Amino acid sequence: MKHLIAPSLLSADFMHLQEEVEMINNSDADWLHLDIMDGVFVPNISFGFPVLEALKPICKKPMDVHLMIVEPQKFVREIAAIGAYMMNVHYEASTHLHRTVAAIKETGMKAAVTLNPHTPVCLLEDIIQDVDMVLLMSVNPGFGGQRFIEHTVEKTVRLKEMITRKGLNTLIEIDGGVNMETGKRLLDAGADVLVAGSFVFKSPDPLQTIRDLKEL
């Protein structure tokens, strides 16, 4: 399968959100990655449901919603209502992850579990068969534009090994510090989906940058 590119709206120009989403609509991007933060699970607050509601009628790409919040299970219905394609919940924020994953899938959305940089992939041994995707954080979540944590490459290899050993087709998505150089190494390590925030939105030609990432 050709890899997928999911630009993260967190680095977009919020004064011109409609134009930014329309740029993504007209690009080679596969998904639009949306980062929800609560100021508790991560030391920052981004945007929430009113913004997602506003984007819903104009966004033509599948929405990949990344919840960096405590108790993500409380918002399954709201995320489904905005028409999200994928709902990512953090392993570290989910006491009853199996139940949350089932609730997400019951709505028709795809379910993904997200790991912080310090959380080992071996903890997925008894849940990976139930999720559609694993999202590995390659920065500590909370902010765009941070430096890529090198260890993620090796972690991606180990996750890919687990998926292959179990005969699954779970997708691997990587989020944080993705550019042409880190992106190439992540794809070689087994990644399927690359999230890119600042590398896309702060580039002089975001459409071309997305095309370049797609051609990696």
Does 176 belong to an annotated binding site?
Answer: yes
**175 has catalytic annotation:** yes
Give bridge partners of residue 136 from the DSSP assignment.
115, 174
Contacts of 123 (CB under 8 A, 6+ apart): 91, 115
Distance CA(160)–CA(158), nearest Å, equals 5
Here the tokens at position 189 are 């390590």
Q: Which x/- pattern, by CB under 6 A, does the window 63-102 give for ligand DX5?
A: ---x------------------------------------
* Residue from 30, 132, 175, 192 carrying the catalytic annotation: 175
* Residue from 35, 64, 192, 212 carrying the catalytic annotation: 35
**188 has catalytic annotation:** no
Residues 144-203 that bind ligand DX5 (CB under 6 A): 144-146, 175-178, 195-199
Task: Choose the contact partner of 199 out of Zn ion, ligand DX5, none; CB within 5 to 8 A by kind.
Answer: ligand DX5
Q: Provide, rounded to whole angstroms, the least separation between the CB of residue 98 and ligand DX5.
A: 24
Does 8 belong to an annotated binding site?
Answer: yes
Sheet of 32-37: strand order equals 4-7, 193-196, 171-175, 133-137, 110-115, 86-90, 63-68, 32-37
Instruction: Decide if residue 66 touches Zn ion (CB under 5 A).
Output: yes
Query: Do residues 192 and 172 touch, judged by C-beta distance below 8 A?
Result: yes
**Rounded (5°) CA angle 194-198-203:** 105
Instruction: Decide if residue 35 touches ligand DX5 (CB under 6 A).
Output: yes
Residues 143-182 that bind Zn ion (CB under 5 A): 175
Q: Which x/- pattern, by CB under 6 A, does the window 110-149 give for ligand DX5?
A: -----------------------------x-xxxxxx---
Q: Provide, rounded to whole angstroms, the least separation between the CB of residue 63 and Zn ion.
A: 12
Q: Find how far residue 45's CA is from the centre of its chain.
A: 17
Q: HEC profile for 58-114?
A: CCCCCEEEEEECCCHHHHHHHHHHCCCCEEEEEHHHCCCHHHHHHHHHHCCCEEEEE
Q: Find how far residue 189's CA is from the centre of its chain.
A: 17
Q: Provide, rounded to whole angstroms, the least separation between the CB of residue 135 and Zn ion.
A: 7
Active site residues: 35, 175
Sites of contact with ligand DX5 (CB under 6 A): 8, 10-11, 33, 35, 66, 139, 141-146, 175-178, 195-199
